[in-house]
Chain A
Amino acid sequence: GENVEQHPSTLSVQEGDSAVIKCTYSDSASNYFPWYKQELGKRPQLIIDIRSNVGEKKDQRIAVTLNKTAKHFSLHITETQPEDSAVYFCAANNAGNMLTFGGGTRLMVKP
């Protein structure tokens, strides 16, 4: 089945710097890749997603890139702010058309 690996598990950046989180997936048939943000004690919320027919998608300070050949996709956050501090999860759809999630990245933005 699908396997999604996410790195790093923790990431600490200075406010204003960029943050990059990477995920790799195993199933070449996967074609949908969402990213969720989970603030402490709260529910995961979808922040951006990308489908396999595009290589990049941007929404203000966040962007996601997809490399289908290498089977990896990344989340980029520019000009980080303290409120970006959270756990971020990547996911990919699997053969059963459910989502397989990565292990999560705890992002800490230091003011």
Chain B
Amino acid sequence: DGGITQSPKYLFRKEGQNVTLSCEQNLNHDAMYWYRQDPGQGLRLIYYSQIVNDFQKGDIAEGYSVSREKKESFPLTVTSAQKNPTAFYLCASSIWDNRYEQYFGPGTRLTVT
């Protein structure tokens, strides 16, 4: 289970608070991704980053923010503007030129009450 890690595994927050999810990889991959997983909806892309200091919105970026200051790290902040933040969040990484072969982290289950 090495290579790409996410912490914590479970996270609980009160409504109205921002929360940051961690994602770290030691695979030397240049690209990193954040997905949200809801029951019956598969994985939906929130943000992705091709290279350090660069990132792009995915299909459901509203209410989320990211940073990519280091190649190894791609933290995701779930802001209070995200209307329905409770979900399972998956981080992934890949070589950009082979971006279809994505390696996933173990995920963080966020519950906001």
A101/B42 in contact, CB under 8 A:
yes
Give min CB distance, B51 to chain A, whole Å: 15
Interface majority SS on A: helix, strand, loop or mixed? strand
Contact B100 A49 (CB under 8 A): yes
- B85: which A residues are within 8 A, CB to CB? none
Interface size on B, residues (CB 8 A): 17
The interface on chain A, measured as residues whose beta carbon lies within 8 A of the other chain's beta carbons, has a size of 20
The one of B41, B90, B100, B104 in contact with A103, judged by C-beta atoms closer than 8 angstroms, is B41
Alpha-carbon gap, A96 to B43, bound state (A)? 16
Residues of B within 8 A of A49 (CB): 100-101
Given A97-B99, A98-B58, A99-B100: A43 and B106 interface contact (C-beta under 8 Å) = yes
Chain B minimum-CB-distance residue to A36: B104
Instruction: State which of A32, A45, A46, A103 has its C-beta within 8 Å of the C-beta of B42.
Output: A103
* Residues of chain A whose beta carbon lies under 8 Å from any beta carbon of chain B: 4, 6, 9, 32, 34, 42-46, 49, 89, 93, 97-99, 101-104
Listed by A's residue number, 13 A-B pairs whose Cβ atoms lie within 8 Å are A9-B40, A34-B101, A43-B104, A44-B43, A46-B101, A49-B100, A49-B101, A89-B42, A93-B100, A99-B100, A102-B42, A104-B40, A104-B41
Q: 4 tightest CB-CB pairs across the interface, nearest first? A: A101-B42, A43-B104, A101-B43, A103-B42
